[in-house]
Amino acid sequence: MTKSGDKLVSRDGHSLPLARRKAVLGADALEITPVPPVTGAYSYDPGYASTASCTSRITFVDGEGGVLLYRGYAADDLARHSNFAEVSWLLLNGELPSHTELQSFSEELAGLRHCAPEVLDTIAAVPAGAHPMSTMTAALSAMPAVYPECTDPDDADHRRRFSHRVIANIATVAAAAYRKTIGKPAIAPRKDLGYAANLLYMMFGEEPNPVASRALDTLLVLHADHEQNCSTSTVRIAGSSGVNPFSALAAGCIALWGPAHGGANEAVIQMLEEIGATENIGEYVARAKDPGDSFRLMGFGHRVYKNFDPRATIICGICHEVLQELKTGRGRLFTLARQLEEIALSDSYFKDRRLYPNVDFYSGIIYRALGLPATMFTPMFAVGRTVGWAAHWCEMHTDPEARIGRPRQLYLGPTARSYLPVGER
């Protein structure tokens, strides 16, 4: 089968016109639904790297230009001038809120911060030593039982209540998951603090330095959405079955945890600690380049960004500010990270493959400076991404074209064969 314009030519020479769906920005999409019946073949696209699985109006990424837009607004502009509550509204509703809307939304979120006791009991009941991502998933899994008024995908009020509830509660859950790891009880949220300041307060029990709160808020904004990434696609696939949204987000949380996705921020710090000193960088870069070694430079490379990740640029800038203000003595890892970046970016292996630092490369250094242990880095990513997950879940459930996610396969297993009972084999 060969491509010719927007036509595919089938094995028997028939050409098949493909409808082209125009994108507002970025690549158009060819509708391939009619291809299998005519050609007898599916499209084969491991990792869905060339497949648009849905239409969306939420976030746009231009990987060549290093552009990230939330509902049309540059994420770096929002990171510098907006805040997490306003960005949450924007992602959920499509437009920036008026002053009154923002005020009442922020108040509503603050009022919803307390989790139901059953959710806190679930967190208290996870085994000691559980990773906080496990704990957060357990807490999300408990929520449909305690918030039934937020579970119907087909009811607009349920969808709105769910989105606000989960954005407000996820910070409380993350903080309680952290407290569980240190064997301490959860701290009740405060209504009078901003979203990020309250999150830090619920973890550490004291009002945070405003620079720390601002840095965390910016990180939450930068992690809020990233179009059809692995965890968001997981939320969509799980949600496409009609399951309640808390469970769909629990699935997303699990997908985020892996080191190739949100788990990379934890892995970056482990890698930097392991490298330890400038003179060891060469050895690790050589390992990352060795096809026989599974080691990769964590926090490097991206499926879509092939130039630079705009989030990494801002986060690197915040690192300077936070390390200076908080004087935590964590500058050593930052210096090492800068050296590693410089060495990798001057190496033809990374240049040829267009591998640049991604969002996770520097975020862990900031989290560290804020006093978070490495196991809490991915939960912080999850708190931010909860907004995107909720927005995509809502969008999917109002999309008349949405269908249950059910990919096909290229079967390479045995052909049909007869079963013989064990004694006759």
Nearer to ligand CMC, 35 or 380 (CB): 380
Does residue number 385 form part of the binding site for ligand CMC (CB under 6 A)?
no
- Please, are residues 359 and 222 in contact by the beta-carbon 8 Å criterion? yes
List the structure tokens of 212: 């720390």
- Please, are residues 211 and 325 in contact by the beta-carbon 8 Å criterion? yes
Return d(Cα 397, Cα 154) in angstroms, integer: 7
Pinpoint the alpha helices (H) of 209-280: 210-223, 230-239, 245-257, 264-275
- Please, are residues 423 and 57 in contact by the beta-carbon 8 Å criterion? no
Which residues inside 76-115 make contact with ligand CMC, applying CB under 6 A? Answer: none
Binding mask 242-261 for ligand CMC (x = CB under 6 A): ------------------xx
- Reported as type and span, the H/E element at residue 140 is helix 132-146
* 360: annotated active-site residue: yes
Secondary structure letter of residue 19 according to DSSP: P
Nearer to ligand CMC, 262 or 310 (CB): 262
**Nearest distance, CB of residue 354 and ligand CMC, angstroms:** 8
One residue of 114, 161, 296, 306 binding ligand CMC per CB under 6 A: 296
One residue of 37, 47, 127, 329 binding ligand CMC per CB under 6 A: 47
Return d(Cα 80, Cα 395) in angstroms, integer: 27
Selecting among 223, 309, 360, 397, the annotated active-site residue is 360
Side-chain-side CA neighbours of residue 11 (13 Å): 6
Does residue number 262 form part of the binding site for ligand CMC (CB under 6 A)?
yes
Return d(Cα 158, Cα 170) in angstroms, integer: 17
- Please, are residues 330 and 369 in contact by the beta-carbon 8 Å criterion? yes
Does residue number 298 form part of the binding site for ligand CMC (CB under 6 A)?
yes
List the structure tokens of 329: 């003595």
* Segment interacting with ligand CMC, rule: CB under 6 A, options 86-94, 292-300, 332-340, 412-420: 292-300
Nearer to ligand CMC, 35 or 312 (CB): 312
Nearer to ligand CMC, 341 or 360 (CB): 360
Q: Which among 249, 247, 251, 242 is positioned nearest to 404, based on CA atoms?
A: 242
* Segment interacting with ligand CMC, rule: CB under 6 A, options 134-142, 272-280, 357-365, 409-417: 357-365
Which residues inside 197-236 make contact with ligand CMC, applying CB under 6 A? Answer: 229
* 114: annotated active-site residue: no
One residue of 194, 301, 310, 388 binding ligand CMC per CB under 6 A: 301
One residue of 199, 264, 319, 337 binding ligand CMC per CB under 6 A: 264
Name every residue whose Cβ is closer than 8 Å to that of residue 198 and which is 6 or more positions away in sequence: 110, 113, 171, 189, 190
Does residue number 287 form part of the binding site for ligand CMC (CB under 6 A)?
no
- Reported as type and span, the H/E element at residue 388 is helix 377-396
Nearer to ligand CMC, 19 or 260 (CB): 260
150 forms bridges with which residues in the sheet?
none
One residue of 82, 358, 363, 386 binding ligand CMC per CB under 6 A: 358
Number of residues near ligand CMC (by CB under 6 A): 20
One residue of 360, 389, 392, 396 binding ligand CMC per CB under 6 A: 360
In this structure, which long-range contacts are made by residues 80-86, counting pairs with CB atoms below 8 Å and at least 24 apart in sequence?
A: 80/218, 80/314, 82/221, 83/194, 83/195, 83/217, 83/221, 84/195, 84/196, 84/217, 84/220, 84/221, 84/224, 84/384, 84/387, 85/109, 85/194, 85/195
Token pair 């696939």 in the structure block, residue = 237
**Nearest distance, CB of residue 57 and ligand CMC, angstroms:** 21
* Segment interacting with ligand CMC, rule: CB under 6 A, options 117-125, 139-147, 352-360, 414-422: 352-360
- Please, are residues 375 and 182 in contact by the beta-carbon 8 Å criterion? no
The angle at the Cα of 388, spanning 172 to 121, to the nearest 5 degrees, equals 25
Nearer to ligand CMC, 242 or 407 (CB): 407
Does residue number 66 form part of the binding site for ligand CMC (CB under 6 A)?
no
Does residue number 299 form part of the binding site for ligand CMC (CB under 6 A)?
yes
CB atoms within 10 A of CB 27: 9
Token pair 């862990």 in the structure block, residue = 364
One residue of 275, 288, 315, 383 binding ligand CMC per CB under 6 A: 288
Nearer to ligand CMC, 114 or 296 (CB): 296
Token pair 């000193």 in the structure block, residue = 277
Does residue number 302 form part of the binding site for ligand CMC (CB under 6 A)?
yes
One residue of 114, 161, 303, 306 binding ligand CMC per CB under 6 A: 303
Task: List interacting residues with ligand CMC (CB under 6 A).
Answer: 47, 229, 260-262, 264, 288, 296-303, 353, 355, 358-360
Q: What positions carry a catalytic annotation?
A: 302, 360
